[in-house]
Amino acid sequence: MYTTPPVARYEGTRCLGPIVIEAEICDPDPVGLAIAEDLEALFRRFVILPRDEDFVALALWTLFAHAHDAFIISPILAITSPTKRSAKTRVLEILSHVVPRPLLASHTTAAALFRAISEYCPTVLIDEADTFVRRSEDLRSLLNSGHTRSLARVLRAGATYSTWAPKVIASIGLLPDTVQDRAISIRIQRKAPGERVERLCQDELVHMDLRDRAAQWAAEHLDALSLANPAVPESLGDRQADCWRPLLAIADMLGADCPGRAREAAVMLSKLSDGDDEDLSVHLLVDLARLFGTSERMASAAIVKALVAMPERSWSTFAWGKPLTELNMSRLLRPFGVRPQQWGEGPKAHRRNVRGYYLADLRPVFARYVPQTADVPGTPGTPGTPGPGQ
């Protein structure tokens, strides 16, 4: 597993404690390293993932699930893919044999989930989240509340229930923004025709001792992990740093080159997730800024048609697989104080009313929320920014 040479110092990191840890002086933990190595090898046998960093994250998150109560932050493990048949369920099946007290669930409700967490303290494994999580505000609130131990409670009918538990969520497409923001994301792709993995044998997994070994290791290091204050790469945002800190603490405890590999994984996977935590309305503003250019106004129908045609965006499947509509767009823009206006087009004898948006209404919002990039070089709508077709 650990083949990358150890780094001398974590370049580009900041120390959250009084001492910067150097990888070469960490005492290797042969028992913990062997467990992490076996975990990574297990996933590699049965699943094809795009990056080595994905396997590092899976192994470390599994150990985190066993040491869950040592930490104050509980990052969700998000297993996502652009389409079905990409082995998301396979990852959940493997995890169910190595995490503590696995609870497999799909199409669950918030009430059923917080009662199960309070009673069993399980590792929650949610499959097919794309079919129900985005539609349930209660379920999203429950998942969000479980991110921080001090806030991991819900009050229902005069009783308090815990939401503090390690959670894995598998979904086609990204999770809702607020949930994705609290997650370590592994993006799975469907394997290519020439790629091969072993067939998963449930009987073999049942008789493995990896779960017991990981549990024993975590129990022996629980106190030390609760005091850990690992160095975090500077490039990580605050929420990303919170999510990765428990896994980095475990990596530091393992020693050898694991601390360096863990930080490489944190930087790589967080970079892939950059922008996922932005609200959909912000994505919409960025796309509108590119569409408008110097055009003084655009009809809603034309805007929606152009947005749905963008191949790099998900507007074509915005509403549970259906395209964005004019009504969807107006609801996303309403919190910014921007509303559609009406004007007439065509010769007087055949004049028709058109609903759309004026650049003058959008320009102040663009200035606050749209970053200046190569294709949006200045405040949108200023001279020099081309409009559609110009």
Average the pLDDT over each of 152-156, 224-228, 311-315 and give the range with the smallest value: 311-315
**Class of domain 280-369 as given by CATH:** mainly alpha
**pLDDT top residue among 132 and 18:** 132
State the pTM of this model: 0.70
Amino acid occupying residue 75: P
Query: What secondary structure does DSSP assign to 322-352, as a single string?
Result: BPP-HHHHHHHHGGGT---EEEEES-GGG-E
If pLDDT is split at 50, 70 and 90, which confidence band does 258 have? very high
If pLDDT is split at 50, 70 and 90, which confidence band does 85 have? confident
**pLDDT top residue among 161 and 380:** 161
13-273 has which fold? Rossmann fold (3.40.50)
* CA dist., res. 148 & res. 242, Å (int): 10
pLDDT in tens, 269-304: 988 776 554 567 888 999 999 999 888 999 999 999
Q: Say if residue 91's pLDDT is above 90.
A: yes
The predicted model gives 198-222 an average pLDDT of: 89
- Other C-beta atoms closer than 10 Å to the C-beta of 96 total 17
The predicted model gives 104-127 an average pLDDT of: 92
Q: What strand order describes the sheet that includes 183-187?
A: 102-106, 123-127, 167-172, 76-81, 183-187
Q: Say if residue 232's pLDDT is above 60.
A: yes
Q: What is the pLDDT of residue 260?
A: 94
The predicted model gives 178-206 an average pLDDT of: 83
Q: What is the pLDDT of residue 118?
A: 92
Q: What is the pLDDT of residue 5?
A: 31
The CA distances from residue 275 to 55, 214, 235, 271, 364, in Å, are 23, 34, 14, 9, 22
> Do the beta carbons of residue 73 and residue 225 sit within 8 Å?
no
The predicted model gives 26-36 an average pLDDT of: 90
Q: Could you state, in order of their start, the residue ranges of all structural domains in the chain?
A: 13-273, 280-369
pLDDT in tens, 10-25: 333 333 333 333 433 3
**C-alpha closest to that of 102 among 83, 119, 122, 131:** 122
Query: What secondary structure does DSSP assign to 352-368, as a single string?
Result: EEEEEEEHHHHHHHHHH
Q: What is the pLDDT of residue 385?
A: 37
Q: State both tokens at 319.
A: 């509403």
**pLDDT top residue among 235 and 389:** 235
The predicted model gives 175-186 an average pLDDT of: 89
pLDDT in tens, 349-388: 677 889 999 999 999 999 888 876 645 544 444 433 333 3
